[in-house]
């Protein structure tokens, strides 16, 4: 888990035995085991909570997309077009005709 091999674990055990003593070492090991177990459980709960939140956000987006497609006839790809509508085509405008006032080069 932490990249600790067998030699390092033995060294940590020997140091703990010398510091704590043989009578309190089993109690210390139980306490550390319970603490690590509680930490793992809490980390798992937080991870599950985050996953549930992400799923809820995705579901909200999907529901909104379905609602838009049913109400407005827009699919997910049409929503981007609806956000930035195109200006209407100006086919009826006529281009100004040449007035003959110096449009052609005089020579």
Domain boundaries, the chain: 6-78
pLDDT digits (tens, 9 = 90+) for 48-58: 999 988 898 88
Torsion region of 102: left, alpha or beta (phi above 0 gives left; psi -120 to 50 gives alpha): left
Per the structure block, which two tokens stand in for 4? Answer: 């600790």
Confidence at 4, pLDDT banded by 50, 70, 90 = confident
DSSP state of 33: H
Q: How far apart are CA 49 and CA 20, in angstroms?
A: 38
The pLDDT tens digits of the residues spanning 17-30 come to 889 888 998 998 89
pTM for the model: 0.46
């Amino acid at each position: 888990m932490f990249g600790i091999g067998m030699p390092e674990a033995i060294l940590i055990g020997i140091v703990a035995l010398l510091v704590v003593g043989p009578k309190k070492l089993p109690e210390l090991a139980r306490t550390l085991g319970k603490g690590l177990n509680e930490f793992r459980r809490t980390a798992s709960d937080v991870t599950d909570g985050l996953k549930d939140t992400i799923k809820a956000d995705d579901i909200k987006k999907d529901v909104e997309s379905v609602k838009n497609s049913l109400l407005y006839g827009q699919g997910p790809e049409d929503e981007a077009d609806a956000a930035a509508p195109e200006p209407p085509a100006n086919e009826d405008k006529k281009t100004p005709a040449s007035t003959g006032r110096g449009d052609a080069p005089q020579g």
